[in-house]
Amino acid sequence: MSKVFHITSGDIVGGHLTKAGLPGEVFVWHDILYDGPRQPGWPSDNTLSARALFLEEFTAGGLDRDHILNTLHTQYQKLAEAASHGHIVLWFDACLFCQSMLAHILTCLSFKGVRKIELLCVAAFPGIEPFHGLGQLQPEQLGSLYNNRCPVTDEQFKFAALVDKAFATQDTVLLSELLETTEPPLPWVPAAVTRWLQEQPDVTTGLGRLERLALAAIHAGCETPGKIFESVAAADMPPQFWGDTTLWVKLNGLADRVPPLLRIEGPTDRLPQWESQFSLKEFKIKALPNKANSADAKSHAAD
């Protein structure tokens, strides 16, 4: 019997896939492939070192650079060995986080000559509204999707390489061209690209959509990280590509602006961007006067 190798994103999804009773090994990919320095396709050692530094800074030192670098090397070694598996299944959803990762993994596997791959991309599930992603599904629900997998086509590999290049270089012209693709081989990419473009700084205020939604929540009376998270999650469009760490990075960035748009009160003047000795319940966030930006945040929150 051929060995099955499942690749997905998110530890929760990986844990549920393991419990789903499916044959084979489950491997979870860790990286934020729509952001930070990298090159298209298979990475060089310099690229991996740059990404390790980026991710260390993204977590404000919560994850050590050496630990991250070791994890990244292990991940690509797993892909290099993927040809030894007779059966590779990719599990992703339609959000920006997953689509950028899917394009990169397909490109890297193709680079290593591995093209016998099956894909499950889940954009909806009966009874779950709004559907943000695979992390909402229980093991038995994930297992029920297994027979829906489809072989990855040559057209999908070719398109994935273009998408990976666009996200790696953060080329807004190329990303915009992807939006115009008629019947894209990976049909969930245009929506993911749209969300990436919305996250780019506004030419007037310098704010991205997530920052605008966070400011709108604070101006509406949300003062704790938990309440802000709930408000932003409810206001943002599904599928949600970001998690709490990403939102805390955005809030800290708003506090670091000159002039600052908010003040963080608590054990420290910044929210922890990874595991911390401090509970998020100990923090409060206060909006600071800035009429132009607060008005813009409110007016754009529903964009």
Q: Which residues of 208-225 are buried (b: 16+ CB within 10 A; e: fewer)?
A: bbbbbbbbbbbeeebeeb
Which element (helix H / strand E) includes 285? Answer: strand 284-287
The whole-angstrom separation of Cα 209 and Cα 162 is 25
The tokens describing 104, both together, are: 């990169």
pLDDT band (50, 70, 90) for residue 275:
confident
Calculate the alpha carbon distances from 232 to 96, 209, 227 in Å.
17, 10, 9
Q: What is the pLDDT of residue 136?
A: 95
Q: What is the pLDDT of residue 292?
A: 47
Residue 90 pairs with which residues in a beta bridge?
Answer: 7, 119
pLDDT tens by residue, 241-269: 999 999 999 999 999 999 999 999 999 99
pLDDT band (50, 70, 90) for residue 289:
confident
At residue 286, φ and ψ (nearest 5 deg) are -120, 135
Query: Is the pLDDT at 173 greater than 70, yes or no?
Result: yes
Query: Is the pLDDT at 165 greater than 90, yes or no?
Result: yes
Alpha helices in 20-64 (DSSP H): 45-58
Mean pLDDT of 275-280: 90
Q: What is the pLDDT of residue 231?
A: 97
Average pLDDT, the chain: 93
Query: Is the pLDDT at 297 greater than 80, yes or no?
Result: no
Q: Domains (ranges, CATH) in the chain?
A: 4-198 (3.40.50), 209-300 (1.10.10)
pLDDT tens by residue, 191-214: 999 999 999 999 999 999 999 999
Q: What is the pLDDT of residue 86?
A: 77
pLDDT band (50, 70, 90) for residue 298:
low
pLDDT band (50, 70, 90) for residue 303:
low
Query: Is the pLDDT at 161 greater than 60, yes or no?
Result: yes
pLDDT band (50, 70, 90) for residue 299:
low
Query: Is the pLDDT at 84 greater than 90, yes or no?
Result: no
pLDDT band (50, 70, 90) for residue 1:
very low
The whole-angstrom separation of Cα 193 and Cα 198 is 9
Provide the percentage of residues in the chain whose pLDDT is more than 90.
90
Mean pLDDT of 171-184: 94
The tokens describing 1, both together, are: 């019997």
Query: Is the pLDDT at 302 greater than 70, yes or no?
Result: no
